[in-house]
A and B are shown apart, each in its own frame.
Chain A
């Protein structure tokens, strides 16, 4: 698919959009893309406007920054204010508003905050600055959690005593279960996240079809991947079947990546976790096993955290559950814009509101 020229891509896109319209007929469908990267890819390619109006794509809780609770940001900010602490973080955490500040604002006022591209870079910082307690902000789903676990294993092997992790890892399947069991999402099918699926494979999603009779397709990130996945979902719905299909076979093996999963389960175990705007979900997060708790920043570095306050009027919770379109939020594009975001969905480059705003939904008409 990647080797196609522009004309071939256009032809294939026309084929899928035509077939999708034919399969949908006059029935209405709500399909949820779970992954923030999908949300961005959908907008970037202008896919929504190629689909018939009765095939609606809604975004789910798939942006790791968006689902990270306010309290976590407040804790990271409190750590960053300590003179002996260095924060190592992925860049898009910088702008996320906590209760009264952001990491970017703290950085501007002198906090030692470094942007890293991987958890291993955080470990390297710890080795380079032995006088600092280096705290890696570990957010993200099953995709990034194994690399944080690998950094912890490496720190253990190399006896790095000043490397810590502030963990807020989340697991995708429990979030999907919560969405479906709440009964208010009214989703007919899921586009499953390609990156997460490359780690965990297809088996953890089987409850979608078996318990909830909801079809799902693991989708790649090229525009044609997404169109084909929508087509595959509609084909299942048309035939009245529900199964977990794999459109992204060139990357995602059925069994996932067992080595990464093993590293993950060596260091972490599942635990209940708080999701921003969604609430407390059973077994939906990861905490360090006892043997590795010496790397847990929360357990080892004392810190006083301000009382968490939620932004007034922010509707991110409803957006993350697919219950509200960003443009229906009264703050969207007014008090809440990428340059001064109120809620996390407007902050992250993969946030639903940020994608809607950036790519012109509601403010670009041709």
Chain B
């Protein structure tokens, strides 16, 4: 039998990550809740509907323009819980620290987590700390898990997309990935790019309270908009057609992508969300989003269509149409 190894690309959030979970994790852990394939598990506990989610944070560098690993660890899990249609309430925080890690950096990170939790209105109520030998981890890794209560009367899932629904995106794509990357590689772009890392639970609560029929919520993190929409298309067995001219990408991110050979549609975001809603409610959702600090640039970027089933297409600026596939591996800078 051919030996296989875990490679970095298995953690990119794209097709290889998807295959890894499908082929290794699911067969072992299979149950009907995991099978929902959403960002968080939706649980019914004695009549109380809860959302539960976990994520680990291994970002490098630890501090970047617009955020740090601590803010990310809180916002990431808050958002995963919120994308299940829930109000996040409590978080856990697990730290794996490398021997020799500067105490000052740890204090900065913890303070940042506290600020992010305060903004999101969640409490960090349990945790764990382990210290490992120098070289065993890269400074600090953080795991957070979150729990929240699902808003009454709502039913949000990636499997709820239906033909005719509009797809709304809350703002500009790619800022987080580019901010981290430029810091990591010392790249200087003409205009600075700041991570969009932010808690979206307030925005989710506003739109879900007003329009409980919202079908799908998802934050396009690793793998970006393209991979996230592919997952939803597969989950719901529908097609998706996007309009390139409607997708908001800032000139700074576009310029950086042009230089590096990246596609902003695959770049990670940490403060953006996608909403699937019936067309008659679109205007109402847009109005609410555009009044919120994290949804000012919200706009309709496409529609759910019948065919081709399970795939995402893009109508380009010049009128062509092409497939928008799931990310395979990491996006890597081109040679020329």
Q: How many residues of B contact A (CB 8 A)?
A: 37
A144-B335 CB under 8 A given contacts A105-B7, A338-B329? yes
Least CB separation from A108: chain B residue: B5
Least CB separation from B259: chain A residue: A117
Q: How many residues of A contact B (CB 8 A)?
A: 52
- Contact yes or no, B334 A37, CB < 8 A: yes
Sampled A-B contacts (8; CB under 8 Å): A37-B334, A43-B322, A46-B321, A90-B332, A115-B332, A144-B336, A364-B322, A364-B323
Distance in angstroms from A115 CB to nearest chain B CB is: 7
Which residues from 287 to 336 on chain B have a C-beta closer than 8 Å to any C-beta of chain A?
307-308, 311, 313, 315-323, 325, 328-336
- Contact yes or no, A92 B323, CB < 8 A: no
Residue numbers in B under 8 Å from A350 (CB-CB): 261, 334-335
A10 within 8 A of B: yes
A44-B336 CB under 8 A given contacts A107-B7, A364-B313? no
- Contact yes or no, B335 A90, CB < 8 A: yes
Least CB separation from B314: chain A residue: A46
Binding site for A on B (CB under 8 A): 5-9, 15-16, 19, 185, 187, 245, 260-261, 263, 307-308, 311, 313, 315-323, 325, 328-336
- Contact yes or no, A46 B319, CB < 8 A: yes
Main secondary structure of the interface of B (DSSP, over half): loop
Residue numbers in A under 8 Å from B336 (CB-CB): 36-37, 64, 140-141, 143-144, 195-196
How many A-B contacts at CB < 8 Å in the complex?
127
Residue numbers in B under 8 Å from A14 (CB-CB): 319
Distance in angstroms from A271 CB to nearest chain B CB is: 20
A359-B334 CB under 8 A given contacts A37-B261, A364-B313? no
- A13-B318, A47-B320, A140-B335 given; name 18 further pairs at CB < 8 Å: A14-B319, A36-B334, A37-B336, A45-B318, A49-B321, A50-B320, A92-B332, A92-B333, A94-B332, A107-B7, A117-B260, A140-B336, A141-B336, A223-B318, A224-B318, A349-B331, A349-B332, A364-B308
Least CB separation from B185: chain A residue: A117
Least CB separation from A48: chain B residue: B320
A328 within 8 A of B: no
- Contact yes or no, B323 A339, CB < 8 A: no
Proximity string of chain A (29-73) to chain B, C-beta cutoff 8 Å, 1 when within and 0 when not = 000000011000001111111100000000000001100000000
Least CB separation from B261: chain A residue: A349
